[in-house]
A and B are shown apart, each in its own frame.
Chain A
Amino acid sequence: MAAILELKDVDAHYGGTQALFGVNCAVEAGAVTTLLGANGAGKTSTLRAICGMVRRTGEIRFDGHRIDGKSTEDIVRMGIAHVPEGRGTFTNLTVQENLDLAAHARRDRALVGEDAQRVFGYFPRLKERLRQQAGTLSGGEQQMLAIARSLMMRPRLMLLDEPSFGLAPLVVLEIFQIMQRINREDGVSIFLIEQNAAMALDLAHDAYLVETGRIVMSGKAADLRDDDAIRRTYLGH
Chain B
Amino acid sequence: MDLFVSQVLSGVASGAIYGCVGLAMVMIFTSTEKINFAQGEMATFSTYVAWTLMTVGLPYWAAFAATVAISFAAGVLIQRTLLAPLRDAPEMSQVIVFFGLFLVFNSASGAIWGYLPFDFPSPVKAFSTGTTLIGAHQLFIILVAVLMLTLLFLFFRYTSLGLCMRAAAQNPVSASLMGVRVGWMLALGWGLSAAVGAVAGIMVAPVVFLEPQMMVGVLLYAFAAALVGGIDSPPGAFVGGIIVGVLENLVGTYLVGTDLKLTVALVLIIAVLIFKPTGLFGSRRVARV
Is A84's CB under 8 angstroms from B174's CB?
yes
B256-289 interface code vs A (CB 8 A; 1 in, 0 out): 0000000000000000000000000001000000
- Whether a CB of chain A sits under 8 angstroms from the CB of B164 is yes
Is B163's CB under 8 angstroms from A101's CB?
yes
Chain A interface size range:
20 to 34
With beta carbons under 8 angstroms apart, the residue of B173, B178, B283 that contacts A105 is: B178
Is A101's CB under 8 angstroms from B180's CB?
yes
Which residues from 68 to 118 on chain A have a C-beta closer than 8 Å to any C-beta of chain B?
Answer: 71-73, 76-77, 81-82, 84, 88-93, 97, 100-102, 104-105
Is B177's CB under 8 angstroms from A100's CB?
no
Contacts of A91 in B (CB 8 A): 170-171
How far, in Å, is A44 (CB) from chain B's closest CB?
Answer: 12
- Whether a CB of chain B sits under 8 angstroms from the CB of A149 is yes
CA distance A100 to B179 in the complex (A): 12
Contacts of A77 in B (CB 8 A): 179
B157-190 interface code vs A (CB 8 A; 1 in, 0 out): 0001001101100110111111111100000000
- Whether a CB of chain B sits under 8 angstroms from the CB of A51 is yes
CA distance A11 to B37 in the complex (A): 41
Chain B interface size range:
10 to 19
How far, in Å, is A222 (CB) from chain B's closest CB?
Answer: 32
Contacts of B160 in A (CB 8 A): 100, 104
With beta carbons under 8 angstroms apart, the residue of B164, B171, B181, B182 that contacts A88 is: B171
With beta carbons under 8 angstroms apart, the residue of A53, A82, A104 that contacts B164 is: A104
Residue of A nearest to B176 (CB): A72
Contacts of B176 in A (CB 8 A): 53, 71-73, 76
Is B164's CB under 8 angstroms from A84's CB?
no
With beta carbons under 8 angstroms apart, the residue of A73, A81, A90 that contacts B170 is: A90
CA distance A233 to B212 in the complex (A): 70
Q: List 30 A-B contacts (CB under 8 A).
A: A53-B173, A53-B176, A72-B177, A73-B180, A76-B176, A76-B177, A76-B179, A81-B177, A88-B171, A89-B174, A90-B166, A90-B167, A90-B170, A90-B171, A90-B174, A90-B175, A91-B170, A91-B171, A93-B167, A97-B163, A97-B166, A100-B160, A101-B175, A101-B178, A101-B180, A104-B160, A104-B164, A104-B178, A104-B179, A105-B179
